[in-house]
Structure 1
Amino acid sequence: MIYTLFSFLVWLLALPFVAFLSLKDKYKKSLPARFFLYNNPPCKKADIHFHACSFGEVSALESLASNFNDFSFTTITATGFQKAKTFTENSRFLPFENFVPFWLVKSNVVVIFEAELWLNLVRTAKKNGSFVVLLNARISDKSYKNYKKFRFYYKMIFKNIDLVLAQSEVDMQRLKELGAKNIKVVGNIKSANFKRLTKSYSKFNQKFVVIASTHEGEEEIILNAIKPTSNTKYMIAPRHPERFTRAGEICAKFAKVNSLSFEKFSWNLGLKSDIILLDTLNELVNFYAIADVVILAGSFIKGIGGHNPIEVAQFKTPLINGKFYHNQNALFELVDGVKFSDLSDINELLNSNLSPTKIKKSCDLDAIVDLLKDKIEERKSL
């Protein structure tokens, strides 16, 4: 009750900022839904409820969720919500904490992904009689100190979590310090998240280089480091759709300076240009499958922490990564053959015969599915 009251006061104080941010395209759907319940009714009752933060996390859960006939989904961001809607209409934005106690519908099992540790979410789920699972639990080196500072908060959270499925032994020990119990190490579920192709493209006659998941500032530094060759086609895929316009301007300028042709994927020109901007979601995996090399961004400037190499390595595609990938250490430990670069040697790497990537060990997704199905049946029999 005290926490919910505190959440209500935070909500009141945040209202002016929320109203202002809601005017921006990035937040115009998510913030009104989360902070005012605008067009955001409760999910329909389901056997199992999944909650994840954003596009990447929702994508990581898609393979798992597809094993269940009756599930619901909540997320935080607009891109996460858009992705969730592609595989279930029973998707919503998770409201701010003060709304959760009367908004969350009972499910037999509630699965929370990685670090989405909201007290009222787990407490309400537990009060509803759900079996609460924290899946893919991890505590990165960077965030470990901050978690310990708020240990009192996480102890309250873990009182309401029935099972923790951790990524590694190190994560298990850190989670125990925060009060977690009934912990099992199952590996990183993203290592088993082999995305299905949504479309099959033929290999290009030219060498095909995909520059994937770029963030603000990365298109410039990567493209400026590359010396384009006549037998190479480049595709640039920004991480966030709100950056499509800006990234397109950068790519078009690069193409003009280097006397190259340019097109956007959305123009439907046949992908014949030297430089292609991938300005749509859910297509990137299709191009990983036919790429000769992937340059995985989010790792060439500080502060982002890298992206998931498993999505590339499932196709054994050669992979070049930056040196700032602290948030993905566990995943990179599962992949052989990655070349790490600070871009000073990028042309040498692109012109060499790079070895294919290989996934060393995958999480047993079937075992997790069986466990969750058993818990659903247990709750139904109560």
Structure 2
Amino acid sequence: MELLRLRSSTSTPLPPTDAAGRWLRRFYTGLLYLMLPLALLRLYWRGYRDPGHRQRWRERLGFIPSLPTGSLWLHAVSVGETRAALPLIRALQTRYPDLPLLVTTTTLTGSRQVREALGEQVHHVYAPYDLPGAVARFLRNSQPRLAVIMETELWPNLLRQCAMAGVPTVIANARLSERSARGYARIHRLTALMLRDITLIAAQAEADAERFRALGAPRVRVTGNLKYDLPLPKTLLEQGRVLRRDVLGENRLVWIAASTHAGEDEPVLDAFAILRRRWPDLLLMLVPRHPERFDGVAAQCRQRGFPTVRRSEQRPCAPGSAVFLGDSMGELLRFYAAADLAFVGGSLVATGGHNVLEPALLGLPVLFGPHMFNFTEAGERLLAANAAWQIANAAELAVAVERLLTDPERRQAAGQRGRAVVECHRGALATLLACIEEQLPCRR
């Protein structure tokens, strides 16, 4: 408490607020309190499929274990944000070895990604729900020195409570699509109030920065996209070769459809059925985004007559196998390293796409659908370099995959161009670290 009170007493005055914004925040908070029982019931219900959802639920109300005070707090929602944050986390550990690092996530899969990638190197709890009491309790119990929030996690009460407690907040790798900006603009009074509570928004690109400024953010800087700075494990390519040799089969072409959502597996399997007529030995690695969909997708593959091997079965694909279902967590990069080309999901449905830079960095040609508003800049850069192709449906997907499978030289050249795009846009990590250094309160 002493550290928290010290920073509160020496922090700069909070920016002025307007009555309409304050009323909207109270209305928003009231709705959240009304929805709280439903949120807790949802955790309990999801616990039937995976008991992990029921565990540690008190952390979501701010009741967290005893933690060292004065930590660097980094929040990443789920798996994608956690993977993007790993270079930053490791750089912070190197730069500030004497400061404890607290990593929070919102989802169970994000929590498991933290534990798998970082183990006991960091402290981990779930982030509190965006309720004033829960956030204030979390801050009292953790007393962070600085909050680094990944990408687009903008929560009015969390940011307000941090400002009141004197905890600087940096929105790192911040992105804001046109679609999201229009949504925030509809509640512009609350949005402007919330953005004024943020110490610094470190935007991925100038377009993101301009959208934040248009909504009323007073402190925005363009630092670049951290996802370009993704380091590949030294053994990753070898892991991919071993997976190809021992599990998938060396003498067949392998196409990966990664991070698929509900509504995408059907067109992917439709395209695969077309392709199998020409390449009977073609193997599809199908990797659903969410674990709760694994069983359903496996059943769907088998209902279509595709002999399917699940990663969890820990057995090699027989020569007649058609689909390898990636029903594991934390292996996506290894799966990419074992494939010949990649389709990245979340893009045939209006989810906004997923990280297309990971397969590009591994030298794979990349395919994605029309809905890429969360990765607009990355997608456009790969398209401009002829390292990626955008498709709209199953028929176009089948045609694009066929062209690449038929022409190995084209496939290899596209992969090389994609890797070059990623390599030439690295550097966001160093810029972001400098921003964090500026905002980090003097250590007492």
Change (3 A) 1:343 1:64: same
| TM-score, normalisation: structure 1 | 0.88
Q: Deviations over 1:287-345 (max 9, x none)?
A: 212210111121123x2121110111111111121222222212212323101223213
Q: What residue number does 1:214 align with?
A: 260
For residues 48-197 of structure 1, the aligned pairs below 5 Å read 48-69=72-93, 70-86=100-116, 87=118, 88-96=121-129, 97-98=131-132, 99-104=134-139, 105-196=142-233
Do 1:55 and 1:79's aligned partners in 2 also have CA atoms closer than 8 Å? yes
Are residues 173 and 348 of structure 1, via their aligned partners in 2, closer, same or farther at CA, if it must alter by over 3 Å? closer
1:265 deviation in Å?
0.5
- Name the SS of the counterpart of 1:333 in structure 2: helix
Counterparts in 2 of 1:165-314, with a 5 A limit? Answer: 165-196=202-233, 200-202=239-241, 203=244, 204-226=250-272, 227-228=275-276, 229-254=279-304, 257=305, 261-272=307-318, 273-301=321-349, 303-314=350-361
Would you say 1:345 and 2:403 are equivalent positions? Answer: no
| Residue-pair matches, total | 374
CA deviation after TM superposition for structure 1 residue 2, in Å: 8.1
Give me the whole-angstrom Cα distance separating, in 2, the residues matched to 1:53 and 1:340. Answer: 27
Q: Which residue number in structure 1 is paired with residue 5 of structure 2?
A: none
1:13 to 34, 43, 50: 34
Match of 2:176, SS state, is coil
The CA deviation at 1:201 is: 2.9
RMSD: 2.7
With over 3 angstroms needed to count, the CA separation of the structure-2 counterparts of 1:46 and 1:81, relative to structure 1, is farther
User: Contact (CA 8 Å) 2:77, 2:105: kept in 1 or not?
Assistant: yes
Q: Deviations over 1:229-256 (max 9, x none)?
A: 23322211000011011011112233xx
TM-score (norm. length: structure 2): 0.76
Q: CA deviation at 1:118?
A: 1.6
- CA pair 28-37 structure 1, distance change in 2 beyond 3 A: farther
- Higher-Rg structure is 2
The secondary structure found in structure 1 opposite 2:103 is strand
Structure 2 distance, partners of 1:210, 1:330, is 23
Deviations 1:4-54 (A, max 9, x none): 87676435422442343123226833893455557x436543541111222
Amino acid at match of 1:365: L
Distance of 2:290 and 2:352 partners within structure 1:
15
Amino acid at match of 2:288: P
Contact 1:22–1:31 (Cα < 8 Å) also in 2: no
Q: Look up the SS of the partner of 1:130 in the other structure.
A: coil
Q: Which runs of 5+ in 2 are unaligned?
A: 1-21, 94-99, 245-249
Q: Partners of 2:179 and 2:199 in 1: how far apart? A: 26
Contact 2:261 2:345 in 1 (8 A): yes
Q: Structure 2 CA distance, aligned partners of 1:307 and 1:109?
A: 28
* Cα distance in 1, alignment partners of residues 196 and 267 from structure 2: 46
In 2, distance between residues paired with 1:198 and 1:133? 33
Distance 1:162 1:8 in 2: 22
SS at match of 2:163: helix
Q: CA shift at 1:72, angstroms?
A: 0.7
The code of the aligned residue for 2:89 comes to: A
With over 3 angstroms needed to count, the CA separation of the structure-2 counterparts of 1:345 and 1:12, relative to structure 1, is closer
Mapped to 2, the partners of 1:153 and 1:5 lie a distance apart of 10
**Deviation of the 1:112 alpha carbon:** 1.2
Shift of 1:65: 0.6
Aligned CA distance change for structure 1 residues 41 and 241 (closer, same or farther; 3 Å): same
| Percent pairwise identity | 25
Q: Give the distance between the partners of 1:154 and 1:31, measured in 2 at CA.
A: 31
Q: Is the 8 A contact 2:365 2:388 kept in 1?
A: yes
Deviation sequence 1:171-221 (CA, Å, 0-9, x none): 222212222223211122222224537751324321111111111121122
Show structure 1 runs of 5+ residues with no match.
Answer: none
- Structure 1 residues 359 and 72, CA gap change in structure 2 (3 angstroms): farther
Amino acid across the alignment from 1:50: L
Partner of 2:15: none
Q: Which has the higher helix share?
A: 2
